[in-house]
Structure 1
Amino acid sequence: MTAAINIALPRFAKFGAGAIDDLGSVVAQLGIARPVLVTDQYLTETGQTERLVKILQAAGSEPAVFAETVPDPTVASLEDGLALVRTHGADGIIGFGGGSPMDTAKALAVLSVSGGEISSFKAPSSYMGPALPIVAVPTTSGSGSEATQFTVITDGRTDEKMLCPGLSFLPVAMIVDFELTVSMPARLTADTGVDALTHAIEAYVSRRASAFTDALALAAMRSISLHLRRAYADGADREAREAMMLASTQAGMAFSNSSVALVHGMSRPIGGHFHVAHGLSNAMLLPAVTEFSIDSAIDRYSDCAKAMGVVAESVDNAKAASALVTELQQLCTDVEVPTPRSYGIGKADWEAQLDTMAVQALASGSPDNNPRIPTREEIVDLYRQIF
């Protein structure tokens, strides 16, 4: 008999072209009258923030805007946002943007009600206490944050990326409009797309996977394999953009309920110490970590290869799993994922942080979900391999 599993998903979702036009009515239905819209300078400068404000005002809301989110949000970067949420008397938070505005929005929703320091919420803690309701509006096809019960905030004193989990970080609603992603540049399309693929693969091979998350993860892998290269080559390919947006959300639902594994555990310290975007650091790691892990879950990795169309269903599992590694290497080549060295990180700087990054990776808990649980020394060796 299969053991009982816990599944947590947003209460409401709206998908498709033009879905953003219904933001005001969705917020009103949730009883939110004074939201704070959390976004970034790019979306504000391009007029997208003003567009959302007008949609909210037309529906009777009184929104305030916090547009000062930063890449890899830090404890310090939350302070002005918290002050705005409190002075505005906010009764809800709208996260609008990529992973960084989403992470910021989730942290503000919890901290504005609970008080305290965000460090007290980091894993293995899991917070289910009071928080403002969160509405998520993603503009990238990658983080899947609109569907997850996690946020990641960097401790500026130690450069540790703190993973903060719990139901209170889960949006109550999400509006997933692929038209918001059409203007994404090729580099961001690639990094977020491989990020979404990483979410799907890690959700499937995680020791906490279930039949529910398996179905979502396999569907996401299948679609990303078909559409990521297309979206990278032609950002105006609406069919590819729509497919990638749905796949990103499916992968987010999957890993939020089965957890990520070693790639993410190793990725966060790279972002914290070298300010590499999260999706890109995942992409740097995915082929090597998959190759390291594969012998501990050959059947599972074989399923991934077959779902992605890398090999036929009839191919032997060991050959299929090996072919998956080759495909991941080729994909990263095709979408021009750099190594840490070619990205511009110096070897001496990289070597100086390896032990610290390995310790932080293990402390996150994510490597414990991996099919092959690594030692600190093995993590250091993997960091050296990808450099």
Structure 2
Amino acid sequence: MPDQPVAAEPGTSTPRAADIRRWRRYLADEQLEAAVYRDLAERRTGEEREILLALADAEARHEQHWRRLLGDDVGRTLRGATRTRVLGFLARRFGSVFVLALAQRAEGRSPYDTDTDATAAMAADERIHEEVVRGLATRGRMRLSGTFRAAVFGANDGLVSNLALVIGISASGVPTHVVLLTGIAGLLAGALSMGAGEYVSVRSQRELLESSTPDPDARSAVADLDVDANELALVYRARGMSEADAEEHAREVLRTHDLALTADPAVHAQSDEHEAVGTGISAALSSFCFFASGAIIPVLPYLFGLSGLPALLIAALLVGLALLATGAIVGILSGASPLKRGLRQLAIGYGAAAVTYLLGLLFGTTGA
């Protein structure tokens, strides 16, 4: 059933100018959001495409609600909220999981819950849309999680650890060339360590998953099992089925000898987990490269010939900007506030650097 318009002020036939402005703004936002979902759908196939187009249709229904309220006051189309325009730009250019994560946050900020001119159905739609987009974004996060996790956290580790190292060594009063060599050594040591550690971690995780995957060769034994003993039921009980369900499923397999029935949904889930973990080589290379890309930033002022306090301040500024960026990216992907995540990363990085700076001053004074 289409949404029914609600009057801005009961008992009046002419809406106020403030109401018209608000409705026109809502209309523009709904138009932009529908366009965002259509742009995202163009970059998807199958079920994801259908879901995004259905979301676009829902936004179009909301658009019609505001058009009915406005009547002859629709006027020219407004530009819409800045964040929605940015979302549309990103959807047209990239169409990635980042856009879905931003769309998830946008759906969660809908004003319809408190606006009496929006119907209860529209407010409910927006809440459900947030969950739909969350589900789509989760699919993308799963595809990114292995390699992307290594990349983002590798860069963050490089930024924090090498800034702390460079600042601590510099505060001890050693010559500039020693600070530079220390920073480069820290970059190489950290990048190699991160790459090797990530490779071992991912390979170990994949091996653990593989060891938990049912052996397909075991299916060949089904035809020779004792029907009365029905030991096949023990397999399903071990995989988590109740005794009754396991017995029934095993009897069906033994009765039909349909080996396809021996397949367990857990097998498919483990296959998905393999994809989420990623490969050891890709994770190791990502960790190495991104740690190095982060660790080189605090060294840049020294590479360009700066020294002393100016080099320290510029290094801290560059690293601070990079920490804000990595924190914001993590915030976007996790559906949290990019600003809060960025500031948290900044506080952690500067906190570690401050500790090593004080230690450098202490050891420098003691050595003198």
TM range (shorter): under 0.3
Which of structures 1 and 2 has the bigger CA Rg? 2
The structure showing larger relative contact order (alpha-carbon pairs under 8 Å, at least 6 residues apart) is: 2
Q: TM-score, normalised by structure 1?
A: 0.25
Normalized per residue, which structure has more strand? 1
Normalized per residue, which structure has more helix? 2
Q: TM-score, normalised by structure 2?
A: 0.26
